[in-house]
Chains A and B, each alone.
Chain A
Amino acid sequence: MAASRRAARYALLTLVAWLAGCTTNERIILLPEPNGGPTSLAVRQGAREVLLDRPYAAAELTLADPWRYDATPDEVRRAFGDTLAAQPERPAHFTLYFIEGSDDLTEDSKQTLERMFADLDKRAVRDVVIVGHTDTVGSDPFNDALAKKRADTVATMLAARGVDPKDIVAIGRGRRELLIATPPGIAEPRNRRVEIVVR
């Protein structure tokens, strides 16, 4: 009786070891953050979970368990070279500032605009999101209209630069999302802005 139980347990252990050795041919590798910041990825297989929490931490999925190992930059290059080469250009963020109550750019922002144009020119296919903001001087309706007008002004400049208008989204959020929190009626240059994501 005890012998057959032992045999059964042995058979079970052998099965588990065999399953653990069977790879599913699935692999996950965490990469470093470009700015060196913290990063992590939770890999859940059924009820089991492993946390990959440093660059090149990797998991190979077996039929039983995720098997944790350390990958190398060389392994990533060999197995994922084509895949990483197809990554799109990273989105770029720009902020333009405006003269009080107007949709005229400040002098500094005219330089930012040139940098944004240069970034656009290196992208094969572009789409742009433009969000206009105001400071807290004036009413909500006034600021909503002004924020939208600022966003539209930038949209017009981008369209003139050759960006297809259907790939431009321009919206205004008025004084609802202040960069610098102020009471109502405060002229704050840093709040009079348009935030642009170029993708």
Chain B
Amino acid sequence: MLRSMLALLLALGTSAALGADIGQIKVAKGTVTIERAGASLPAAIGTHLQASDVVTTGGDGSVGITMTDNSLLSAGPNSVLALDRYDYDEVTSTGRFDASLRKGTLAVVSGRLAQQSPDAMTVRTPSAVLGVRGTEFVVSVGDGR
């Protein structure tokens, strides 16, 4: 009984989190698209992002994103950046942020989540997991440049 109630609560929690605004595209040049729930949407300056969005740039593209915890992510041309998981409690600054760079280049300035806890933010590449303790770094995967 308790377990099924818990499962229901978890399901409700997840559906409430679906579609929540987690960040905004502040900079977009060239071709930038968002893959969301199987659809491909054009991404313009001002577009709001949701957890599980995958942001892709073309050969002429680059994109800059500000998350609600004040972290900044930017990707260069020919990049695929997935915002795999994002939970942020504005009041306590706690939660979890997992992103992955599947290819291309990424620059990160971490925000309040990583500041609050060294385990709260990770960035994955195909071969490694980066635990974000400090704030600014760059990552490249493949020959995207």
Q: Which chain A positions have C-beta within 8 A of B65?
A: 88
Chain B CB within 8 A of A189 CB: no
Chain A residue with Cβ nearest B111: A91
Among A5-13, A75-83, A97-105, which stretch is in contact with chain B? A75-83
Chain A CB within 8 A of B94 CB: no
Among A34-42, A107-115, A137-145, A155-163, which stretch is in contact with chain B? A34-42
Q: Take A43-B128, A44-B131 as given contacts and tell me if A28 and B139 are in contact as well, using a CB distance cutoff of 8 Å.
A: yes
Could you tell me the distance between the alpha carbons of A124 and B46 in the complex, rounded to whole angstroms?
9
Are the C-beta atoms of A80 and B133 separated by less than 8 Å?
Answer: no
Could you tell me the distance between the alpha carbons of A25 and B143 in the complex, rounded to whole angstroms?
7
Report the minimum CB–CB distance from B75 to chain A (whole Å): 6
Instruction: Kindly identify which residue among A45, A124, A171 contacts B26, using a CB–CB cutoff of 8 Å.
Output: A124
Are the C-beta atoms of B107 and A84 separated by less than 8 Å?
Answer: yes
Are the C-beta atoms of A90 and B109 separated by less than 8 Å?
Answer: yes
Are the C-beta atoms of B137 and A41 separated by less than 8 Å?
Answer: yes
Classify chain B: how many residues form its interface, as a range: 35 or more
Chain B CB within 8 A of A30 CB: yes
Classify chain A: how many residues form its interface, as a range: 35 or more
Could you tell me the distance between the alpha carbons of A26 and B138 in the complex, rounded to whole angstroms?
11
Could you tell me the distance between the alpha carbons of A76 and B105 in the complex, rounded to whole angstroms?
11
Are the C-beta atoms of B74 and A86 separated by less than 8 Å?
Answer: yes
Are the C-beta atoms of A26 and B126 separated by less than 8 Å?
Answer: yes
Are the C-beta atoms of A87 and B109 separated by less than 8 Å?
Answer: yes
Chain B CB within 8 A of A89 CB: yes
Instruction: Kindly identify which residue among B63, B109, B140 contacts A86, using a CB–CB cutoff of 8 Å.
Output: B63
Q: Which chain B positions have C-beta within 8 A of A74?
A: none
Report the minimum CB–CB distance from A22 to chain B (whole Å): 11
Are the C-beta atoms of B26 and A82 separated by less than 8 Å?
Answer: no
Are the C-beta atoms of A61 and B125 separated by less than 8 Å?
Answer: yes
Chain B residue with Cβ nearest A82: B76
Instruction: Kindly identify which residue among A39, A44, A76, A83 contacts B62, using a CB–CB cutoff of 8 Å.
Output: A83
Which residues of B (51-84) have their CB < 8 Å from a CB of A? Answer: 62-66, 68, 70, 72, 74-77, 79
Chain B CB within 8 A of A199 CB: yes
Q: Which of A32, A85, A173 has the most CB of B within 10 A?
A: A85
Are the C-beta atoms of A84 and B138 separated by less than 8 Å?
Answer: yes
Which residues of B (96-145) have their CB < 8 Å from a CB of A? Answer: 105-107, 109, 125-143, 145
Q: Take A33-B134, A40-B134, A41-B133 as given contacts and tell me if A124 and B140 are in contact as well, using a CB distance cutoff of 8 Å.
A: no
Are the C-beta atoms of A26 and B140 separated by less than 8 Å?
Answer: yes
Are the C-beta atoms of A31 and B136 separated by less than 8 Å?
Answer: yes
Chain A CB within 8 A of B45 CB: yes
Chain B CB within 8 A of A66 CB: yes
Instruction: Kindly identify which residue among A32, A40, A88, A125 contacts B133, using a CB–CB cutoff of 8 Å.
Output: A40
Q: Which chain A positions have C-beta within 8 A of B142?
A: 25-26
21 sample A-B contacts, Cβ–Cβ < 8 Å, listed by A number:
A25-B141, A31-B136, A39-B133, A41-B130, A42-B131, A52-B137, A80-B140, A82-B145, A86-B27, A86-B29, A86-B62, A87-B109, A88-B26, A91-B70, A124-B27, A124-B45, A125-B46, A127-B66, A167-B24, A199-B26, A199-B66
Q: A28-B138, A86-B63 are in contact. List 9 more A-B contacts (CB 8 A).
A: A24-B126, A26-B126, A30-B137, A39-B133, A42-B133, A45-B129, A80-B138, A82-B105, A173-B91
